[in-house]
């Protein structure tokens, strides 16, 4: 069965510092991995995805994520955090072998960036 784990409920960083939001996954076959961000009272907004190819994926707002097959991880990173990055972040996975659009989401990690 597919699953996603986001081991940290909350990540706190100071503005200007690098940030990492962790994600590990379990899936049969090749994984398709996604990151979404949710601001208060808003829908989920797509940040980036890994389908195949280069393990380092660049996305919106300066975010990037690195696919690590051996560690089954897809951590979200940003070199320099902004206060406006404070939000709820979701990692999600679908399976390339199941050939469906079914996404499994992690529980979410709240990112708090302090000035």
Q: Which residues of the shown chain bind other proteins in the complex (CB under 8 A)?
A: 32, 34, 36, 41-46, 49, 51, 90, 94-96, 98-103, 105-108
The residue (of 14 and 46) whose beta carbon lies closer to other proteins is 46
The burial of 25, by beta-carbon neighbours within 10 Å (0-12 exposed, 13-18 middle, 19 or more buried), is given as buried
CB of 75 to other proteins, least distance (A): 19
CB of 60 to other proteins, least distance (A): 12
The residue (of 10 and 80) whose beta carbon lies closer to other proteins is 10
Dist CA 79 CA 33 (whole Å): 21
Residue with tokens 């510092």: 17
CB of 34 to other proteins, least distance (A): 7
The residue (of 107 and 112) whose beta carbon lies closer to other proteins is 107
Residue with tokens 């996975």: 93
The helix/strand count (H/E) of the chain reads as: 0, 12
């Amino acid at each position: 069965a597919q699953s996603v784990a986001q081991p940290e409920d909350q990540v706190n960083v100071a503005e200007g510092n690098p940030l990492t939001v962790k994600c590990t996954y379990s899936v049969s076959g090749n994984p398709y991995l996604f990151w979404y961000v949710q601001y208060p009272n808003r829908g989920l907004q797509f940040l980036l995805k890994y389908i195949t190819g280069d393990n380092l994926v660049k996305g919106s707002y300066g975010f990037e994520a690195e696919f690590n097959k051996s560690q089954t991880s897809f951590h979200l990173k940003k070199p320099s955090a902004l206060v406006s990055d404070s939000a709820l972040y979701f990692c999600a996975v679908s399976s390339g072998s199941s050939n469906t659009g079914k996404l499994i989401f992690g529980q979410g990690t709240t990112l708090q960036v302090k000035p």
